[in-house]
A and B are shown apart, each in its own frame.
Chain A
């Protein structure tokens, strides 16, 4: 059976060429500029200098991070009770509810977002509020399902045990249920925060172009302007922001476990 390990080798080549190489190309583009006929490409930090010297770009980055953070918080606040209540239903009702939460998710994301457009035309919200509604709508199911999964894995005899040991309902929740559902919340955060930071079609479809996020910036530089070097630099910065936030989320998770 050892010979089966050879099955992996072609994939190493595939993944190197089609997953790793594209990332390296982005880094290369981010640190270079189109040169002249003699030197076609020159290495430079100019793209990053340009980003950080323009307050508009900083503002867009900040707005995207803020939107993603607030969307994630709203999803936890709305999703936690929903997951908690679903986990308390009878097994049959639980599977029906999980199905009902999953169904909108399976409908194409663009179609889902488009569906809000007509509805929101009737409502006198600002573009920012419309974008927030679209974001929460798209990402709430992920949060509910992640928290629900960790809650349903919980040993049901733990809560009666906590009562026997003198906990009231509130303490039992805070000391037993909530800590055990932290892994669900963390993976929920990953599934919501990540796509929320980089989202560009939700703001475009629902915010009517007046609400620009970092994703829209990247789209513009790649599709409209054609300045791939600057676009790559912006994507790299976004990836770094995400990496840092993920690091802190994970760290928080480990700290919780250590306690």
Chain B
């Protein structure tokens, strides 16, 4: 049994090494003194300095974050409202919306992207921040609906009726009874929306206009030549995501363990 466990651990360690090798490599070379991506010549922080001084680079971080935040808020609100409406709709409407929502989720990004690009050009809408944001909202809403719907299906229909009988207005019933019950689905929908938006390259690439870059389109545009500041930027992104992940995952884990321990004691 012990020997078998070792094979498993070694395999998992190798897979993790494959996942983290390039990330560690980028972090290591972000402190390189020279431009080289293959020879480490000495420690330096100059690429971080350059990163903060490169206006376009800082702007890309700003746009990525801003768009992800706005797209998440808008798509979470709209997606939740649509999902609640859908749960009361006829089967036909449900099927239509599900099928249409499947289009951007099952189509390759590049097809969704050129579709939007052609749409904007057909109606002479100039591409830029507005079209980029709109595109992100469009592809985020279906994911929110998808994560809220199962929670609504589990919901006891009588609850809302009971709230109305007890004198709630429909809005109060929504706000005080339905929303708290489906909160979990809303939060996971918002997380998916944020990740999708922050991670997106393909749709952004085809729907943004001149001068407006998010991190993805910026990195794509600059990697034609070697630019070690991108290493510094990558390191920063890895750091921020790791911190967020630790806060959102490890802290609840420690909390539950503490509760368990208290119960045991």
Interface residues of A in 43-62 (CB under 8 A from B): none
- Beta-carbon nearest neighbor of B244 in chain A: A106
User: What is the bound-complex CA distance between A235 and B113, given in angstroms?
Assistant: 11
Interface residues of B in 130-172 (CB under 8 A from A): 134, 138, 141, 157, 160-161, 164, 170
Contact B161 A239 (CB under 8 A): no
User: What is the bound-complex CA distance between A35 and B93, given in angstroms?
Assistant: 40
Interface bits B85-106 vs A (CB < 8 Å: 1, else 0): 1111110010011001101101
Query: Which of chain A's residues have a CB closer than 8 A to the CB of B12?
Result: 82, 85-86, 97
Question: Is B173's CB within 8 Å of the partner chain A?
Answer: yes
Interface bits B173-207 vs A (CB < 8 Å: 1, else 0): 11000000000000000000001001101100010
Interface residues of B in 101-125 (CB under 8 A from A): 101, 103-104, 106-112, 114-119, 122
Instruction: Give 26 pairs: A residue, B residue, CB < 8 Å, sorted on A.
Output: A1-B173, A4-B87, A11-B97, A18-B116, A19-B100, A22-B112, A25-B118, A25-B122, A26-B118, A95-B249, A104-B19, A104-B20, A104-B23, A107-B241, A108-B219, A110-B219, A111-B216, A111-B237, A115-B25, A118-B231, A121-B38, A140-B19, A198-B108, A201-B220, A215-B110, A238-B111
Contact pick for B215, options A18, A26, A111, A222, CB 8 Å: A111
Name the distance in Å between B87's Cβ and chain A's nearest Cβ: 8
- Beta-carbon nearest neighbor of B103 in chain A: A19
**Given pairs A82-B11, A109-B199, 12 additional interface contacts (CB within 8 A):** A5-B88, A18-B134, A19-B100, A19-B103, A25-B122, A26-B118, A29-B118, A109-B201, A118-B25, A137-B18, A238-B108, A239-B107
- Listed from nearest, the 8 A-B pairs whose CB atoms lie closest are A22-B115, A7-B85, A198-B108, A118-B37, A115-B22, A8-B85, A85-B8, A5-B88
Contact pick for A108, options B22, B173, B237, CB 8 Å: B237
User: What is the bound-complex CA distance between A192 and B85, given in angstroms?
Assistant: 32
Name the distance in Å between B101's Cβ and chain A's nearest Cβ: 7
- Beta-carbon nearest neighbor of A112 in chain B: B22
Contact B170 A19 (CB under 8 A): no
Contact A23 B164 (CB under 8 A): no
Contact B88 A108 (CB under 8 A): no
Contact A78 B245 (CB under 8 A): no
For the complex, count residues of B whose C-beta is within 8 A of A.
81
User: What is the bound-complex CA distance between A75 and B112, given in angstroms?
Assistant: 25
Interface bits A205-220 vs B (CB < 8 Å: 1, else 0): 1000000000100110
Question: Is A195's CB within 8 Å of the partner chain B?
Answer: yes
Contact pick for A25, options B23, B115, B157, B161, CB 8 Å: B115
Name the distance in Å between A217's Cβ and chain B's nearest Cβ: 10
Main secondary structure on A side of the interface with B: helix
Question: Is B47's CB within 8 Å of the partner chain A?
Answer: no
Q: Could you say which of B22, B88, B215 has the most chain A C-beta atoms within 10 Å of its C-beta?
A: B22
Query: Which of chain A's residues have a CB closer than 8 A to the CB of B25?
Result: 115, 118-119
Question: Is A174's CB within 8 Å of the partner chain B?
Answer: no
Contact A106 B195 (CB under 8 A): yes
Contact B234 A19 (CB under 8 A): no
Name the distance in Å between B219's Cβ and chain A's nearest Cβ: 4
Question: Is A117's CB within 8 Å of the partner chain B?
Answer: yes
Q: Beyond A95-B249, A104-B20, A228-B118, is A197–B108 a contact (Cβ under 8 Å)?
A: yes
Query: Which of chain B's residues have a CB closer than 8 A to the CB of A21?
Result: 119
- Beta-carbon nearest neighbor of B139 in chain A: A19
Contact A18 B20 (CB under 8 A): no
Interface bits B225-265 vs A (CB < 8 Å: 1, else 0): 00000110110011001100100011001000000000000
Contact A6 B114 (CB under 8 A): no
Q: Beyond A22-B112, A118-B29, is A4–B219 a contact (Cβ under 8 Å)?
A: no
Name the distance in Å between A21's Cβ and chain B's nearest Cβ: 6
Contact A23 B103 (CB under 8 A): yes
Question: Is A182's CB within 8 Å of the partner chain B?
Answer: no
Question: Is A103's CB within 8 Å of the partner chain B?
Answer: yes
Contact B170 A108 (CB under 8 A): no
User: What is the bound-complex CA distance between A109 and B94, given in angstroms?
Assistant: 33
Name the distance in Å between B122's Cβ and chain A's nearest Cβ: 6
User: What is the bound-complex CA distance between A220 and B157, given in angstroms?
Assistant: 52
Question: Is A244's CB within 8 Å of the partner chain B?
Answer: no
Contact A114 B234 (CB under 8 A): yes
- Beta-carbon nearest neighbor of A194 in chain B: B108
Contact A235 B100 (CB under 8 A): no
User: What is the bound-complex CA distance between A208 and B242, given in angstroms?
Assistant: 30
Contact A78 B112 (CB under 8 A): no
Contact A8 B237 (CB under 8 A): no
- Beta-carbon nearest neighbor of A86 in chain B: B12
Name the distance in Å between B181's Cβ and chain A's nearest Cβ: 14
Question: Is A184's CB within 8 Å of the partner chain B?
Answer: no
Interface bits A161-201 vs B (CB < 8 Å: 1, else 0): 00000000000000000000000000000100011011011
Name the distance in Å between B217's Cβ and chain A's nearest Cβ: 8
